[in-house]
């Protein structure tokens, strides 16, 4: 079974997504991303080769959990709207 090396987790209600790197010792938090540029920078700092390709190229190294890939803002509830 394949597991991605990088996980971009579900969008927080306040916006942004936690990014983690899977290692032999478990998962390491890379930070809270509010854009693809943030994810690319986190991967660059972690030493990943070609972080642009990993994020924008759709490689199997990255797993977008739960929400739409490349989305970082939470959907606001609409039941309070007139």
Average pLDDT over residues 73-79: 73
CA 10 – CA 5 distance, rounded (Å) = 16
Q: Are 33 and 40 in contact (CB under 8 A)?
A: no
- Taking the model in full, what pTM does it have? 0.84
Q: What is the pLDDT of residues 2-18, one digit of tens each?
A: 466 999 999 999 999 99
pLDDT at 1: 39
Q: What is the pLDDT of residues 20-70, one digit of tens each?
A: 999 888 899 999 999 999 999 999 999 998 999 999 987 788 999 988 999
Q: Structure tokens of 61?
A: 């190294």
Q: If you search the block for the tokens 């929400």, which residue do you land on?
A: 67
- From 47, 20, 45, 22, select the one nearest 32 (Cα to Cα): 20
């Amino acid at each position: 079974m394949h597991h991605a090396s990088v996980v971009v987790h579900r969008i927080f209600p306040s916006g942004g997504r936690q990014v983690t790197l899977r290692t032999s010792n478990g998962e390491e938090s890379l930070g809270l991303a509010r854009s693809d540029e943030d994810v690319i920078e986190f991967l660059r700092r972690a030493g990943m080769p070609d972080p642009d390709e990993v994020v924008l190229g759709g490689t199997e190294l990255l797993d977008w959990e739960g929400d739409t890939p490349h989305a970082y803002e939470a959907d606001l509830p609409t039941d309070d709207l007139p």
